[in-house]
Amino acid sequence: MGKVLILVFALSLVIERVTDKILYLVPARPRKIYAWIVSTALGLLISFVFRFGIMKELGLVTGLEIACWLDYLVTGILLASGSEPVHSIIDALAFKKEELQKRVKGV
């Protein structure tokens, strides 16, 4: 689980930095909109091309195909959001997984 979360955090940080470099010459006013578009495109591209879904990796998604596609979509948007929101969501998912494991074990 830890490796997956570190990978998500690292990918979101890479997307954030690449977006900053791509939009360096764009004027300040439209930069935020372009940054959102570029980072979302990069995040979705990474998650769909490499079939990388955070919920699948954490064991929270069943084998249904629609669930996998939604997982890739959520992961792509999560990667595009940058490093700070990713950190908060990772903490919440880790807590939920631990809670589910305790419930299964009957603790």
Q: Which residue has the higher pLDDT, 107 or 47?
A: 47
Using the structure block, give the residue that is written with the tokens 């570190």: 6
Domain positions in the chain are 2-105
Between CA 91 and CA 31 the distance in angstroms is 30
Between CA 101 and CA 80 the distance in angstroms is 29
Provide the percentage of residues in the chain whose pLDDT is more than 90: 20
**Mean pLDDT over residues 69-97, rounded?**
83
Q: Which stretches of 1-107 are assigned E, i.e. beta strand?
A: none
Q: How far is CA 64 from CA 30, 67, 72, 74, in A?
A: 39, 5, 13, 15
The whole-number pLDDT of residue 1 equals 61
Q: How far is CA 32 from CA 24, 26, 28, 84, in A?
A: 11, 10, 7, 17
- pLDDT by residue (tens digit) across 35-80? 889 999 999 999 999 998 888 887 887 778 898 999 999 999 988 8
Residue 86 has pLDDT above 80, yes or no: no
The whole-number pLDDT of residue 107 equals 63
